[in-house]
Amino acid sequence: MIRNQIGDEKMNREDWLQNATDIMRSGLFKQHGFLIPEDVKISCGFPPTGGTARKMTIGVCFPRSASDAKINEIFINPTKSQMISTAENNHSGILGTLVHELVHAVDDCQHGHKKPFKDIATMVGLTGKMTATGESEELEKYFKDKIISELGEYPHANIEVNKRKQSTRMFKVECNTCGFSYRTSRKNIKRITNHTCNACGIDSLEVV
Per-residue pLDDT of 128-145, as tens digits, reads 999 989 999 999 999 999
Count CB atoms within 10 A of the CB of residue 122.
15
For residue 154, give the DSSP letter. Answer: -
Q: Give a yes or no: residue 3 inside a domain.
A: no
pLDDT digits over 77-109, tens only? 998 888 887 544 455 789 999 999 999 999 999
- 178 and 108 in a common domain: no
Q: Give a yes or no: residue 48 inside a domain.
A: yes
In sequence order, the 6+-apart residues with CB closer than 8 A to the CB of 110 are: 63, 116
Q: Give a yes or no: residue 108 inside a domain.
A: yes
Residue bearing the bigger pLDDT, 10 or 192: 10
Q: Give a yes or no: residue 70 inside a domain.
A: yes
Per the structure, the complete domain to which residue 202 belongs is given by 170-207
Q: Give a yes or no: residue 190 inside a domain.
A: yes
- 200 and 117 in a common domain: no
- 5 has a pLDDT exceeding 60: no
What pLDDT score was predicted for residue 57? 80
3-class secondary structure, 149: helix
Residue bearing the bigger pLDDT, 188 or 46: 46
What pLDDT score was predicted for residue 177? 65
The lowest-confidence range among 51-65, 147-161, 162-176 is: 162-176
- 133 and 71 in a common domain: yes
Q: Give a yes or no: residue 8 inside a domain.
A: no
The rounded mean pLDDT for the chain is: 83
Report the predicted TM-score, pTM, of the whole model to 2 decimal places.
0.73
What is the domain count for the chain?
A: 2
- 155 and 188 in a common domain: no
Percent of the chain with pLDDT over 70: 76
What pLDDT score was predicted for residue 187? 74
- Cα distances from 188 to residues 27, 53, 168, in angstroms, run 60, 37, 12
Q: Give a yes or no: residue 154 inside a domain.
A: yes
Radius of gyration of the CA atoms of the chain, in A? 25
